[in-house]
Structure 1
């Protein structure tokens, strides 16, 4: 009878109306049914029951994703029960799934007004998990709610972004982000977007009150209580570890360190050896949050070094191959006796086989340290094609000390990309005739609005021993970058990164009256079908080409594979099937007259 009453209460709950939110009244914590399903497609405010010992204080919980919001009061999470027992009014706010920091921040600001009015309080404390912590600072600073927020407890919030989001901006690697269960919201969580836009804009804003933020950054991606989450976070955390250090499987520890905030845990603190899901659970985080709620004075002994990566230079001793490209091979550097492939794969378990140049199977290929979604394979032979029953990306690490570094030098809103190649061992002769190239894609506006653009190949110019690319001729926006270096068979290196071009302060004024004409064009370029096998038709509509069409074909690293010329005709359609027949299977870029570029797949 009790269960029946609970279910009736849940599914016939009072749903109130506000401009952007559905409002739902929850039952008491001990009456919540595990069968409860709240709104999944609408921004929602779940109101907890006011406890009999109500102390007049409201705690607003925000995850930042609609369908994960309910994990803060359901299943094995005791946040709702603990706050109820302690006399706090709990309210759980779900904003959007993939809207990003500015969209979710504006919605959170609206919910703060709704909640303070409903409970007749002047301010709330916020417990925010993951991207919810970034939405909280946007609501306070950009949308003017700082006086209505007493404190923010940020649980595993990547204030400086996460390399997993960088990876997600590579179309052939976005499945790796989905392993975390987050799926969307990556555009404004990249390391370069947070570094170039979010942190300088918010940290230097006169409305910024960093002392209101208390950070709980975890370091135990390998130690989650949920077995399914642990499998995914062990894989993603292993990818993050060499790039960004200690992490919880999604948020690197040093990325959680919001400048000027209070930091509860040090890096690798044994008390914080839990993963990105566990840090959101009351049984792990409530004792620390409770101590700060009861004593608002800051604990000066917790203001240790920040390690904020504002000037972080990205380094790589690896190159990246992935399963969609038959032309990708495991290659040993010259004078290198072995390499190690750290492989992230879409299926939890995957089988791998290696084939030599004659497509003969390599019998010596042995997997080591195989875990769900991750496999490590050593290689002592070169020019091996790696095949699997799962999509994968392999980071091929070499042992000869050759490293590529990427530095962003900002001047007048236009970054210059500086690349250096250096050797930590006495083999500098391998660095001769090095070529640096990249593939960039404009992925969004500066405000995070998604854009669909084709990739563009860029080349770097050498000066005083370093390589440079100046972005001053690029349009304003956010760009992903797949950077590659190569030297006559001596070595290969890769870096996944990105950068932002333009005036962030002007762009984030959120001018709703601005006309959106960026994607409007009368020109059209496409290959039919996009997955080319035996037939390929190139269509060029709206291009003023008088004589001939020069076509360059590149692989996804920006390396030119071939070039050819076709004569102009009146119908603007060109059969290029014969030209593409000799290409191996994989992803390619086609460039017309050294300008526009489109992507296609060769089967």
Structure 2
């Protein structure tokens, strides 16, 4: 009997290790006991006066701080409202400025606490911090009737606190406001070649932006939604009114790159509406929807309650009435989000990305494009746009908006039905985003589904791109290319992997790519570029691959290697050392869109081969991929051209 018990115990340990093998959370920073500060009485216009408890508030950082609101009369039988801020902000978003949340909560007789977590760390550190803070808040009030309200990434921090840091037993209900439960496309941009365009919102490429990528948030959902600690009910409120966002100097058209078309609910300028839903949660109201005037003129509308931008939703008069009305699970005008839900299974894009150096760089606009916005990021405002007739366009903004590192952002608008070829003339290197409404859209199916959030190591990744125009499949000629790159492991540690070329083939109206390579666990950025007659569309997204690291088969490419690229980064002339034992080996250079920009003639040389590449002026600075290929064998190495 004893030996049988030992065998069962060993089996249990093995099963425990297997079931938890794929989850290895990032390093969690422990900030210890939180600083506690009492707030004065709320003021709807000027904010509040601070009353420190034992310390001077201004001597230290705001991170790991709890602000307690004044206790109104007759509040003992009501829940304590605890508010959690979002990315790049702190607790003051709730109690400062006009129409602040603190005023409404106090006026209606509720106790309150406002927490400052870190503004730029991942949900694992912030969730652990919040879980510890809840103990202090309960002790402070002598009451454990807690309701949490999270805004933006703060809602994800709440998820981590309740489910993964064990705080679920301390909270009775959660409300989330414009929460990126499934990530946001801006996080992908913030960690891509377009970082300079988005750092006005996402201050830098840090753990918080990385963990909000769609691939990582799908991974997070796969760990969270089936967890036994996922017991607290969530009520979600999204938003779709993405303009004018006067608090930012970023144009509305750019913010729409957050993702979420009008057909899928719209977005609030930072988070797509579909991402604000949480599986199993109660959704209050809805996003944008299509309706018809006179039964044939389409237009988009949505509830007034969610016609808010990403920052308006924190204001007391906008959100508090709906929170108050739905306390104690008294839901009105609601919809239950399905347990199986994955809005990132298919990603839609109407943008193209153009990179160029000093001189003239062309781009094209397709037919039926109703509104075209061009956003150019460059070192200074030394560029203009011309059409085929040579006519120049004036910038929409009278002066370029400064971002960082001497980078300016300039906006141009082209008139409707302005299809054809255009040129950006610039004195400096630049990156441009071209967003066309009403033209061709690219829809990338990632091979995932409502019931499949991530790939397992060893699975074939299947990508399918569909092009549509005016809600019909685009039947014209097109070339589709792409790349895939593991940027972090599942612990959010940056990797040094080489990008891989993704090859698409047309099949029954779609462009299909299958990646059979044994992909190690991690988060993979995917870039897909589709180009045809007078159009180009770029799709950016990410996926997660989970599971254990599998050993690489020996001798897989032992006779094929790129041994050295020098200098790297480099410019002018670059030396490439490679090895091949096969004739008809091909060496090519690709850009990050998967487009081939250079072929080398190896003249049938075998063994160790040395090449000298004099880079021509038409090769723009940026990240490139060298691919050495023979038959089905491929090896790649990245190259940075300055």
> By how many angstroms is 1:116 displaced?
2.3
Match for residue 385 of structure 2 among 354, 359, 362: 354
Kindly report which structure 2 residues correspond to 1:373-392, keeping only aligned pairs within 5 A, or say none: 374-378=411-415, 379-382=418-421, 384-387=423-426, 392=431
Distance 2:139 2:563 in 1: 52
Match for residue 23 of structure 1 among 7, 29, 35: 35
Distance 1:525 1:38 in 2: 52
> By how many angstroms is 1:462 displaced?
5.3
Q: Which residue does 1:125 correspond to in 2?
A: 147
* Cα pair distance change 1:537/1:129, threshold 3 Å: same
Distance 1:348 1:303 in 2: 47
> By how many angstroms is 1:276 displaced?
1.2
Answer whether contact 2:369 2:439 (CA < 8 A) is retained: no
Answer whether contact 1:64 1:132 (CA < 8 A) is retained: yes
Distance 2:33 2:429 in 1: 40
Match for residue 312 of structure 2 among 278, 285, 288: 278
Matched, 1:155 2:177: yes
Matched, 1:343 2:374: yes
Answer whether contact 2:394 2:412 (CA < 8 A) is retained: no
Answer whether contact 1:404 1:420 (CA < 8 A) is retained: yes
Match for residue 439 of structure 1 among 470, 476, 483: 483
Q: Which residue does 1:520 correspond to in 2?
A: none
Kindly report which structure 2 residues correspond to 1:3-402, keeping only aligned pairs within 5 A, or say none: 19-30=31-42, 32=49, 37=58, 39-40=60-61, 42-51=63-72, 54-55=75-76, 57-65=79-87, 67-76=89-98, 78-170=100-192, 172-180=193-201, 183=204, 184=206, 185-194=208-217, 196-209=218-231, 212-224=233-245, 227-229=246-248, 231=250, 235-237=254-256, 240=259, 242=261, 245-267=265-287, 268-293=302-327, 296-303=328-335, 309-310=342-343, 312-316=345-349, 318-323=351-356, 329-332=362-365, 336=367, 341-345=372-376, 352-354=383-385, 362-365=390-393, 374-378=411-415, 379-382=418-421, 384-387=423-426, 392-395=431-434, 397=436
Answer whether contact 1:102 1:138 (CA < 8 A) is retained: yes
Aligned residues: 544
> By how many angstroms is 1:338 displaced?
7.3
* Cα pair distance change 1:391/1:156, threshold 3 Å: farther
- Answer 1 or 2: which has greater strand percent: 2
* Cα pair distance change 1:351/1:245, threshold 3 Å: farther
Distance 2:364 2:255 in 1: 24
Per-residue CA deviations over 1:446-482 (Å, capped at 9, x if unaligned) read 2434445443322235566641222552111101111
- Answer 1 or 2: which has greater helix percent: 1
Distance 2:359 2:170 in 1: 56
Match for residue 584 of structure 1 among 619, 624, 627: 619
Task: Please state whether the residue corresponding to 1:218 is helix, strand or coil.
Answer: coil
Per-residue CA deviations over 1:289-331 (Å, capped at 9, x if unaligned) read 23334xx143254226779654742344553224569785213
> By how many angstroms is 1:182 displaced?
5.3
> By how many angstroms is 1:129 displaced?
1.0
* Cα pair distance change 1:555/1:108, threshold 3 Å: same
Task: Please state whether the residue corresponding to 2:76 is helix, strand or coil.
Answer: coil
Matched, 1:473 2:510: no
* Cα pair distance change 1:136/1:384, threshold 3 Å: same
> By how many angstroms is 1:88 displaced?
3.7
* Cα pair distance change 1:453/1:240, threshold 3 Å: same
Q: Which residue does 1:457 correspond to in 2?
A: 501
Task: Please state whether the residue corresponding to 1:469 is helix, strand or coil.
Answer: strand
Q: Which residue does 1:595 correspond to in 2?
A: 635
TM-score (norm 2): 0.72
Q: Which residue does 1:5 correspond to in 2?
A: none
> By how many angstroms is 1:527 displaced?
4.7
Per-residue CA deviations over 1:237-268 (Å, capped at 9, x if unaligned) read 37645375422211222221212222233222
* Cα pair distance change 1:327/1:451, threshold 3 Å: farther
* Cα pair distance change 1:237/1:483, threshold 3 Å: closer
Match for residue 408 of structure 1 among 430, 447, 468: 447
* Cα pair distance change 1:428/1:27, threshold 3 Å: closer
> By how many angstroms is 1:53 displaced?
5.3
* Cα pair distance change 1:405/1:79, threshold 3 Å: closer
Match for residue 542 of structure 2 among 483, 498, 501: 498
Answer whether contact 1:354 1:362 (CA < 8 A) is retained: no
> By how many angstroms is 1:485 displaced?
2.8
Per-residue CA deviations over 1:357-380 (Å, capped at 9, x if unaligned) read 9xxx93253566999764322544
Distance 2:88 2:392 in 1: 48
Unaligned runs of 5+ in 1: 1-17, 508-522
* Cα pair distance change 1:310/1:524, threshold 3 Å: same
> Which is further off, 442-451 or 457-466?
457-466
Q: Which residue does 2:296 correspond to in 1?
A: none
Distance 1:237 1:316 in 2: 10
CA RMSD across the alignment: 4.3
> By how many angstroms is 1:496 displaced?
1.1
* Cα pair distance change 1:402/1:263, threshold 3 Å: closer
> Which is further off, 105-114 or 143-152?
105-114
> By how many angstroms is 1:278 displaced?
1.7
Task: Please state whether the residue corresponding to 1:76 is helix, strand or coil.
Answer: coil
Distance 2:508 2:326 in 1: 53
> By how many angstroms is 1:86 displaced?
4.3
